[in-house]
Structure 1
Amino acid sequence: MGIDFMGPFPVSYGNSYILLVVDYVSRWVKARATEAKDAKTIVEFVKSNIFYKFGVLKALNSDQGSHFCNCAMATLLEKYGVVHQVATAYHPQTNGLAEVFNREIKKLLQKMENLNRNDWNRLLEDALWAILRKEFKVSQKLIVGKLRSRWDGPYIVTNIFPYGIVEVRDEANNNTFKVNGHQLKPYHEGLNLSSTLGKVIHHIGGTGFALTLNILFDLHAMMRSKEKTESKSKTMRKSSWSNNDSNLEPDPS
């Protein structure tokens, strides 16, 4: 995930900067108008808008600004085990996706503000919505199509990569794309697939499941629940068989 600051801009509703974060896998983007450009603002934003909502990151990319490289940020990232990857002045493209969104947001705000340059804070959410639905140029090296979440399904798991990245395939058009594993959850009824799916999609520990992109899930918990169910079923069958055996004993009378 990349993080960057924009500004300073003319003061708008008490704010002069825009703090922006971009997920490199899903292209999810979040921006917030801020009064200051300091470590306290960033730490609060990362904790409340990323860690507490979506979980802990594997890595965070930023530039060498003192608002990103400081003791407060280092302490936060070390506490949660997040790798801080810093873009050098000679290779700023290592945080290039955040820079692309910065430019696009700035262009849209300039078009939307007209003569009132102090109104950009109110228009920031509208600019973000337009960005997420915009078709970018190939030269910008972004994903093909519109930047919007694909919260349909189920999808077929085709590959699993390091750092929690999962490749899935859409059966409707056979397209594949990669997503963060934290955004997946099992698609099932109890522990059995709906018969309308027609086939088992993916196997983990003998459990078949389909996937939709939505919220964090725990496959291990699902598998433990299945094992408990099977264990209980075996116990009940054994008990039933014992009872039947007792009926075969000769009548002592």
Structure 2
Amino acid sequence: MEEFWNDAYENARIYKDKTKKYHDQMILKREFMPGQQVLLFNSRLRLFPGKLKSRWSGPFVITKVSPFGSVELRNNDGSLFQVNGQRLKHYFGEIHKKVETMYLQDSN
């Protein structure tokens, strides 16, 4: 019976190691620099979320980056606050697509 327990324990350890390795490969390393614009993930949007409401707010400007993942952001009104860097993603600005309008005429 003890042999089965040892085999099960070893198999569970191997499975956990493989899943951890896969998970660590999927993590994206993001590097932020002061002056960049970022979006902040709002994880507390649970009360009345709405289906199509975005959970990302911003853009905010980075003022300081600490070596252990903490990032200091500046709001539009100039106030500063700190957040975890894992809650941020890069903001690339508004994308304006050129829309061309074509009118069709009736050929009677």
Give TM-score scaled by structure 2 length: 0.35
Tell me the TM-score normalised to structure 1 length.
0.16
Higher helix share: 1
Higher relative contact order (CA 8 A, sep 6+): 2
More strand by share: 2
Larger Rg belongs to: 1
